[in-house]
Amino acid sequence: MSTRLGNWAARHGHAFVSTLGHLSRHALATALTVIAISLALALPLALGLLVNNIRSLGGTLDESLGLSVYLKPGVTESAARTLAMQVRAHPGVRSVTLVSAAQGLALLRAQSGFGAALGSLTDNPLPNVLEVHPTPAAATPQRLDALRTALAALPPVDAVQLDRDWALRFNAILSVAREALLISVGLIAAGVVAVIGNTIRLEIQGRWAEIEVTKLVGGSNAFVRRPFLYAGVLYGVCAGLLGFGIVLAAGIALARPIAALSAAYGGHFALQGPGLRELGVLVGVGAVLGWLGAAVAASRQLARIEPRAG
Amino acid sequence: MIRFQRVSKRYPNGREALSELSFEVPAGEMLFLTGRSGAGKSTVLKLIALLERPSRGEVWVNGQNTARLKARRIPQFRRGIGVVFQDHRLLRDRPVFDNVALPLVAADVSFREIDRRVRAALDQVGLLGRERTLPLELSVGEQQRVGIARAIVGKPPLLIADEPTGNLDAALASEVLDLFARFSAVGVTVMIATHDLAWVRSSGRRELRLEGGTLPVAPAEGALPADVEALMSPARP
């Protein structure tokens, strides 16, 4: 048993080493194939990471989901402060921030670029505003609606705006992006199988004389197919590694601009790059697709060599 | 060892290469298959090595009816036949050792055993010590002998050769044929397709002369026109 196992290991080792040798003797062709496949594998990984990052960005935005409570023009800042205390005691409310009319004007001056025009105003036209943030448990559409009704019923309140529509749209866009990603993963997987299949087909044709002789001296189909299957898997694994490297490099290159962008919006968003899990998935998927492409090409080609009845 | 029973072979292009061919070769005999090109010599060899299957009739090799052989048994079947080609079909990018070892590697023989048997086969054809040489660095005669070493390394009971001396001058051809005679002497059945009639005649071995895909009945050789079996029986000198 152990010698059979040893023979088995020796055979596969031999096939693996001879395949490595063959691929390295044709280094340029091998490199071009691997690069093409790695780009195909890198694309869905990059898209997937993009969707994940945007979703996590949405997660931090969920926390800023809230209601803007506009108070009537006559309500003074101190009355607003008292009201803020009352609202804070309301169940389902996590925090209340008062943006006074003066603060609002100052923000508008600073951010909108209308500083000069606003400076000509004698009166402040802005109302005092309470930014109300719900507790996570209260952040459901129904409870937010109930909270809005309750706040709108308070005498000093002019209007309540629920910042929810954008969140719904955001989620809808994200789910479209996820669907598109799944479809593209399927298409790209088929493309990778086709590319590897075609590469292996050409390789088989290039080594046709060798295959014929091997079969003539008693080589089984499994024996003839073995080095090509190894080649397919090697293409897939190398392309997976390279594709991961490409996405990793792109992530590193993007990290600084994104940090700068995030800082400009007062956030602290950091790009989540690909990790070990993604590396494993990409290499594994590459290996499986490579094997599949090689198996399809090899079985189709080898079927041509069987004896014909005529 | 080989038995053809009313074998016909028609190729997909409609050409009938063999028609109603019958003959028998007992184990251990060395004989020649002759005839003009197109007479069906190559088809006979292809049917024996199971590169083709007959359209009609039965081909028995080594006690097996090739028609009954399942596809997955074919590799095992072919390991019992050593094949030598006119153009020797060596792998140019592999050294002599790898070329000769191919049948053993394909048959899952252990590497230690492969090393021993490849050297033994190379010794038999007089090429021991040339293991690391590439085929193109060898002379034509040496290349043919590497092809023969590859055919015998698996110790097959049957050796078939398609024009093995076609590319060789008289001295080299004689050398190669002597080699075949040595294998025959130790019990290997040897069938050689050739048009080198002078050597066939001088060897005194049996000759199957194909004409138009069959063996013409030849009264001069003492057989009755209808008695195909008698004609086919081994006629040793």
* Cβ A118 vs Cβ A87: under 8 Å: no
Q: Any residues with CB less than 8 A from the CB of A140 and at least 6 apart, and which?
A: none
Whether residue A145 is predicted with pLDDT greater than 70 in this model: the reply is yes
Task: List the structure tokens of A94.
Answer: 């996590």
pLDDT of residue B219: 44
**HEC per residue, B129-145:** CCCCCCHHHCCHHHHHH
Mean pLDDT of B42-48: 91
Contact B154 A7 (CB under 8 A): no
Whether residue B81 is predicted with pLDDT greater than 50 in this model: the reply is yes
The confidence band for B193, taking pLDDT boundaries of 50, 70 and 90, is very high
In three-state secondary structure terms, B159 is strand
The confidence band for B223, taking pLDDT boundaries of 50, 70 and 90, is very low
B111-124 vs B140-152: helix crossing angle, rounded to 10: 130
Instruction: Return the residue of B nearest to A309 by Cα.
Output: B53
- Count of CA atoms in the C-beta half-sphere (13 A) of A24: 6
Q: Compute the mean pLDDT over every residue in chain A, rounded to the nearest whole number.
A: 83
Contact B54 A10 (CB under 8 A): no
Task: List the structure tokens of A189.
Answer: 């997987």
pLDDT of residue B230: 46
Cα–Cα distance, A160 to A140 (Å, whole number):
17
Whether residue A155 is predicted with pLDDT greater than 50 in this model: the reply is yes
Contact B74 A310 (CB under 8 A): no
Q: Could you report the per-residue pLDDT of A61-100, keeping only the tens digit for each?
A: 555 567 888 888 888 888 888 888 888 888 888 888 888 8
Radius of gyration of chain A (CA): 32
Could you count the other beta carbons within 10 Å of the beta carbon of residue B46? 19
Partner-chain residue, chosen from A10, A209, A220, that has the shortest CB–CB distance to B111: A10
Q: When comparing pLDDT for A145 and B55, which is higher?
A: B55
Beta strands in A179-265 (DSSP E): none
Instruction: Return the residue of B nearest to A14 by Cα.
Output: B105
pTM: 0.70
A221-264 vs A2-25: helix crossing angle, rounded to 10: 60
Q: How far is CA B58 from CA A305, B30, B73, in A?
A: 21, 22, 18
A24/B contact by beta carbon, under 8 A = no
Instruction: Return the residue of A nearest to B152 by Cα.
Output: A217
Contact A3 B89 (CB under 8 A): no
Contact A218 B106 (CB under 8 A): yes
- Residue in A33, A27, A20, A22 with CA at minimum distance from that of residue A206: A22
- Residue in A228, A218, A210, A213 with CA at minimum distance from that of residue A300: A228
Mutate to test the interface with B, among A3, A213, A226, A305 (most CBs of B within 10 A): A213
Task: List the structure tokens of B102.
Answer: 């191919």
Cα–Cα distance, A100 to A75 (Å, whole number):
11
CA geometry: angle B147, B148, B149, nearest 5 deg: 90
Q: How far is CA A18 from CA A10, A14, A228, B190, in A?
A: 12, 6, 10, 34
A208/B contact by beta carbon, under 8 A = no
Mean pLDDT of A197-212: 89
Q: Any residues with CB less than 8 A from the CB of B138 and at least 6 apart, and which?
A: B96, B130, B146
Residues in A touching B49 (Cβ below 8 Å): 216
pLDDT of residue A135: 80
A309/B contact by beta carbon, under 8 A = yes
Cα–Cα distance, A116 to A114 (Å, whole number):
6
Partner-chain residue, chosen from B9, B102, B110, that has the shortest CB–CB distance to A214: B102
Mean pLDDT of B177-202: 88
Nearest chain A Cα distance for residue B229, angstroms: 26
Residues in A touching B50 (Cβ below 8 Å): 307
Residues in B touching A2 (Cβ below 8 Å): none
Q: Could you report the per-residue pLDDT of A5-23, keeping only the tens digit for each?
A: 777 777 788 788 888 888 8
